[in-house]
Amino acid sequence: MRLLSRTDRVVITLMVLVPLLLVVGLVWLPAAATVLLSGTDWDGIGPLGEIDWVGWRNYDDVVSNYPPFVPAVQNNLLWLAALFVVATPFGMFLAVLLDKELRGSRIYQTALYLPVVLSLALIGFVWQLIYSRDQGLLNGVFGGDTDWYGDPNVNIWAVLVAAGWRHVGYIMLLYLAGLKGVDPSLREAAAVDGASETRTFFRVVFPVMRPINIIVLVVTVIESLRAFDLVWVINKGRNGLELISALVTQNVVGEASRIGFGSALATIMLAVSLVFITLYLWTVMREEKR
């Protein structure tokens, strides 16, 4: 510490304090307030002093007296599985292909990344044109009358296709950036040793890319936990498209103002996220110790 001048110390203190205040003020305080509110029946009207404490009643209602909750949990899990098993590996696969310097690779990149750039409103509109039962492209071309958005057994898959469409582009770009950073001499060495392309990828490139792999994994988990926008645009997260995030919004935002109840849902979501965050941090820290 003796090496640090007075100015240094002031700068360091500021650099620690400002982010700390931001994190506490913008993340931890609201999170704590959400947890507190989840034990009340506040409806957003009246002074804070008049809030009644109802204990676990909101949680009890969520689990036993709120039909959309169970489908929402199932859909969130399904979302995670679909992204993890299909969309993420497919995005990585495309990245590997594009890394081969194919002719027109820029065009493919742009085409695949475009969905990530498009605004949400536009994406909702694009898929409405495709999926609409009476006027949509899919039923128009194939002459079917599948109710893509309305049939609760079908619509979650229809939306997963749309979500995957976006997710693939995102993962592709992340992974492509990582691949470009892999030292070419590693591949050359593998080639000299007579390893096939597949073998080179799984035995050499993939392990080297570990940091990127972890990022991709985390992005996948985060994307599936906070999945919200597409279902909200389609039908506000109802009728087969329930997601916890959409239920929170339905209850808290807007005129409904079931703030206590919505906070209980948000707290449940927070708890689930914490499980994944803990797992991730634990892995990363164990990594660093080694």
Partner 1 sequence: MSRPRTQAEYLARLVPPSVAGLNRRSLLAGAAGTGALLGTGLLAGCGDSDSGSGSDAKRVSLGSNQSDPKPKDVLAKVTAGFTTSAGTSVDINTVDHNTFQENINNYLQGKPDDVFTWFAGYRMRFFAAKGLAGDLSDVWGKLDGYSDAFKKASTGDDGKQYFVPASYYPWAVFYRKSVWQQRGYQVPTTLDQFTALGAQMKKDGLTPIAFADKDGWPAMGTFDILNLRINGYQFHIDLMAGKEAWTSDKVKKVFDTWAGLLPLHQPDALGRTWQEAAQSLQQKKSGMYLLGLFVGQQFSGADLEDLDFFTFPEVDSTIGAKALDAPIDGYMMARKPKSKDAATKLLTYLGSKEAADITVKNDPSTLVANTGADTAGYTALQKKAAELVGSATEIAQFLDRDTRPDFASTVIIPALQQFIKDPKDIGGLLTSIENQKKSIFTS
The DSSP symbol for 227 reads -
DSSP 53: B
Q: Is 253 in the site for partner 1 (CB under 8 A)?
A: yes
**CA gap 133, 144 in Å, rounded:** 9
Nearest-Å Rg of the Cα atoms of the chain is 24
Residue 254 interacting with partner 1 (CB under 8 A): yes
User: Does residue 41 touch partner 1 according to CB under 8 A?
Assistant: yes
Taking the complex as a whole, how short is the minimal distance between the CB of residue 114 and partner 1, in angstroms? 26
- 49 near partner 1, judged by CB under 8 A: no
- CA 199 to chain centroid, in Å, comes to 31
Half-sphere exposure of 96 (CA within 13 A, CB side): 14
Q: Is 256 in the site for partner 1 (CB under 8 A)?
A: yes
Quote the least distance from Cβ 259 to partner 1, whole Å: 10
Task: Say if CB 150 and CB 241 are below 8 A apart.
Answer: no
| Binders in 126-185 for partner 1, by CB under 8 A | 131-135, 145, 147-152, 155
Token pair recorded at residue 131: 């999926």
Among 2, 3, 48, 65, binds partner 1 (CB under 8 A): 65
Q: Which of 39, 68, 124, 169 binds partner 1 (CB under 8 A)?
A: 68
Tokens of 263: 């906070």
User: Which residues here bind partner 1, judged by CB under 8 A?
Assistant: 41, 43-46, 54, 57, 61, 65-68, 131-135, 145, 147-152, 155, 235-236, 238-239, 250-251, 253-258, 260
